[in-house]
Amino acid sequence: MSKDIVLAFSGGLDTSFCVPYLKERGWAVHTVFADTGGVDAEERAYIEQRAKELGVASHVTVDGGPAIWEGFVKPFVQAGEAYQGQYPLLVSDRYLIVDAAIARAKELGTKAIAHGCTGMGNDQVRFDLAVKALGDYEIVAPIREIQKEHTQTRAYEQAYLEERGFDVRAKQKSYTINENLLGVTLSGGEIDHWKTPGDGARGWCKPRAEWPAEKLSVTLGFEQGEAVSLNGEKLPGAKLLARLNELFAPYGVGRGMYTGDTTIGLKGRIVYEAPGLISLLTAHRALEEAVLTKQQNRFKPDVARKWVEVVYEGFFHDPIKTDLEAYLASSQRCVNGEVVLETSGAQVTAVEVRSPHILNAKGATYAQSADWGVEEAEGFIKLFGMSSTLWAEVNRG
């Protein structure tokens, strides 16, 4: 009898390959697509049809938008730091995908979970550590298994599927593409070979020639560091981020190329597009800088960078993540107000900040006016620089 296994499924080359591969090894494959907001209705229908044509035992689609907002977007924006100063952690939906796969496994009464991660990337670490943190499950990784014998993995997967009568999308032959509410990542092809990305290496963001002529201006409202409204309209987080993606992608906002240090030590190079998330980060930082104290603004990035490293490297369920989030939440008590964002293309700028918590001194304005005297200023400078001045006097030749 076939054994039941739950496969985290996206309809892409890797997870499509996993279905017949697992079936031929005696598994009854049950696919789960966690829709974390990166696909439209047409693509969602394609994924369901793809699972059916591959011959799965069952397929379910789970709405992961609310979960990815609460579980990742909210603390990530409150943290306000990208991995190595660049990458906005667009594949952090992996943890929510694992949650959906575990829930399906419990429904089926099986302890077997499969994924389509390679043996060279970070996702295998995220998937495996998340699964291990949530229970005693058997983990099956077909792509890692075939890499023991095949060096040109994608070509092998493509041939494997075509030999069994399954078509492979043209774009999937060149690139590994991940889409979710957070954005799009593209790797493979010339990107992996440190060359200029081809015309096909593009997701949501429009090229320069297609940017709208008119400037875009939007207003974001925040409560305790969480975006809650867009242009005065209250929206659930997932819908708000989806709308920001729609607004800013036509202007090419949030597109970049990133080379970073992966968890397993290799250099990873990807093209990413995150129009909504980059806009959110820009607005939040502008508000935060105005309402936090100097000491908070100096210290908080250290906590944020640690949170980002923990999430990037797969320790989503490590208790330190909860510890760090307690500080981040505390720091957001007064991060309330509105921020106006503008873009004419590529870059987004926070042009206006409105909040009752902006740390303004009533009698002083930077570089303009002050409510203290010359003697007070000179006395402050003398005491503030005492140590440095003394060193210069004592050691002056």
pLDDT at res. 151? 84
Report the topology of domain 3-174. Answer: Rossmann fold (3.40.50)
Q: Which amino acid is at 336?
A: N
Give the whole-angstrom CA distance, residue 245 versus residue 276. 4
Residue 92 is encoded by which pair of tokens?
């952090």
> Which residues does 251 contact at the CB level (< 8 Å), separation at least 6?
206, 211, 212, 216, 275, 343, 344, 345, 346, 348
For domain 185-354, the CATH class is alpha beta
pLDDT at res. 173? 63
pTM above 0.85, yes or no: yes
Radius of gyration for the alpha carbons in the chain, expressed in angstroms and rounded: 25
- What is the chain's pLDDT, residue by residue, as a tens digit (397 residues)? 569 999 999 998 999 999 999 999 999 999 999 998 877 889 899 999 999 999 999 999 999 888 999 999 999 999 999 999 999 999 899 999 999 999 999 999 999 999 999 887 889 999 999 999 999 999 999 999 999 888 888 889 999 999 999 998 876 567 888 889 999 999 888 998 999 999 889 999 999 999 999 999 999 999 999 999 999 999 999 999 999 999 999 999 999 999 888 887 888 899 999 999 999 999 999 999 999 999 999 999 999 999 999 999 999 999 999 999 999 999 999 999 999 999 999 999 999 999 999 998 777 776 677 788 889 999 999 999 999 999 999 998 7
Own/partner pairs, 347-350, CB within 8 angstroms, 24+ separation: 347/253, 348/248, 348/251, 348/253, 348/254, 348/278, 348/279, 348/282, 349/282, 350/282, 350/283, 350/285, 350/286, 350/287
Are 320 and 308 in contact by the 8 Å Cβ rule? The answer is no
Give the whole-angstrom CA distance, residue 142 versus residue 25. 11
Give the whole-angstrom CA distance, residue 85 versus residue 214. 30
Of 108, 44, 72, nearest in space to 277 by CA: 72
Neighbouring C-beta atoms of residue 351, cutoff 10 Å: 12
> Which residues does 314 contact at the CB level (< 8 Å), separation at least 6?
122, 125, 126, 128, 129, 130, 263
Same fold, 3-174 and 185-354: no
- The residue extents of the domains of the chain are 3-174, 185-354, 364-397
Residue 205 is encoded by which pair of tokens?
């963001």
